[in-house]
Structures are given as structure tokens and as C-alpha cells.
Amino acid sequence: MTLSLEESTINYLSKRAQVETGGNVSALLERVVHAAAVTESAKQHAAWFAARPDYADAAEAERYAA
């Protein structure tokens, strides 16, 4: 994969990678993208449960009925 980034972004990533991963920009980007994916997933799960306020109670009732 090739990324085209502005020089200021490259400098930022290089400095941050030096501190966090010993200079491994690929590892830093993997960490950042993974964190963003986890955050997005958590937001989607929260929205799903918010749209279904009775889900937990219904699941609990179903579990006891089984």
C-alpha cells in the first residue's frame, strides 16, 4: 500500500512513531487505525442498543423462560 501524505503529516507521524513504536510508522498506523475501528464499532453497538431499549430485558426474560 502506498500513501500520499503532506510533509507536515509525515513529520508528525515520524515523531509520534519514534516515541511510541521506536520509529516504526507502519506499527503506529496499524495501532491508530485499529483504535479508530474499535471506537467506530463501539459507537455502532451503542446506537444499536439505544435503538432497541427493551432488548436486554427481552433477552433476560427469554433466557429465564428457556
Domain tally, the chain: 1
Mean pLDDT score, 3-31 = 98
Task: Please say if the pLDDT value at position 65 is more than 90.
Answer: yes
What distances in angstroms separate CA 50 from CA 2, 25, 55, one per listed residue? Answer: 39, 37, 9
Mean pLDDT score, 8-36 = 98
Mean pLDDT score, 2-28 = 97
What percent of the chain stands above pLDDT 70? 100
Task: Please say if the pLDDT value at position 66 is more than 90.
Answer: no
By residue range, what is the domain housing residue 19?
A: 7-65
Q: Is residue 27 part of a domain?
A: yes
Nearby residues of 31 by Cβ (< 8 Å), 6 or more positions away? 20, 21
- Give φ, ψ of 42 to 5 degrees: -60, -40
Q: Is residue 2 part of a domain?
A: no
